[in-house]
Structure 1
């Protein structure tokens, strides 16, 4: 892995972008105490280094639900029968390719994977279960925990 050096200005820019990626470059520069050209150059560098993965809009699920329906969010534990590198990678590849899977974690100890999945309704969740779990002979155990209420969601990393 390459050596990456960050100074206080880089860290301020990263922190500001985590809070509001829609800020103009001029405003980011003001808040980070750098010039606009410096801000733009540093942000491009942070993207090129892969420190900024992507910029997205975070939707408010309860407000969106009034228009599209709440759907179901579940945390799903998956234990595989065989945990060889090839089997783990094969399941992970299938899980991350499925659009219903919002997050996929390989974990230890306990289950092999924890997924955060979102489905329109119970029939859609059943289709997801059949697609990812039932049809895979290597899946030994699946436990789904359905979310009743999201008390906190914060994708920011501490800097």
Structure 2
């Protein structure tokens, strides 16, 4: 995979991360190739799975989702069927922005985005506290986003 990432492909990826809607002619100009080779390289990067899709990135702040809470989750059962049930259930909660299985003192770390503390309490009561095999949670409210970025280094 590393050999497919020559300097030109890295530049293409960096430009697409910065602006996935960049016209192919402008992208070709920025990387120093004509349109056809750039289009071919993009197709190859997609086929290799390096580019997995394109999407609009919405501003949570403009949508009124200014409250971020991180939730530590400890499960009562960590056997594979229990993990699969938990994973499926947490994926169904629209306010969950991220969820990671953790190696350490707890089992999962969930990032929840909401309008305010009242909205978060509703999410906690109606959704998070009803997750299968949930043993305990700890919530940590974010005061300020110091670094919040998309992956840009290729």
TM-score by length of 2: 0.85
Could you list the per-position Cα deviations for residues 35-94 of structure 1 after superposition, in whole angstroms to 9, with x for gaps in the alignment? 2111112212222332222223334444x1xxx535421111111111111111211111
* Residues 82 and 132, structure 2, Cα contact 8 Å, conserved in 1: no
SS of residue paired to 1:30: helix
Residue 20 (structure 1) aligns with: 19
SS of residue paired to 1:95: helix
Q: Which has the higher contact order (CA 8 A, sep 6+)?
A: 2
Task: Could you tell me which runs of 5 or more consecutive residues in structure 1 were left unpaired when the two chains were aligned.
Answer: none
Query: Is 1:98 equivalent to 2:93 in the alignment?
Result: yes
Q: CA RMSD of the aligned region, Å?
A: 2.1
TM-score by length of 1: 0.83
Residue 155 (structure 1) aligns with: 150
* Residues 89 and 132, structure 2, Cα contact 8 Å, conserved in 1: no
Residue 134 (structure 2) aligns with: 139
Residue 39 (structure 1) aligns with: 38
Following superposition of structure 1 onto structure 2, how do residues 97-136 of structure 1 map, counting pairs within 5 Å?
97-136=92-131
Task: Could you tell me which runs of 5 or more consecutive residues in structure 2 were left unpaired when the two chains were aligned.
Answer: none
Runs in 1 of length 4+ with deviation above 4 angstroms? none
User: What is the number of residues matched between the two proteins?
Assistant: 153
SS of residue paired to 1:141: strand
Distance 1:70 1:135, change over 3 A: closer
The alpha-carbon deviation at position 4 of structure 1 amounts to: 7.3
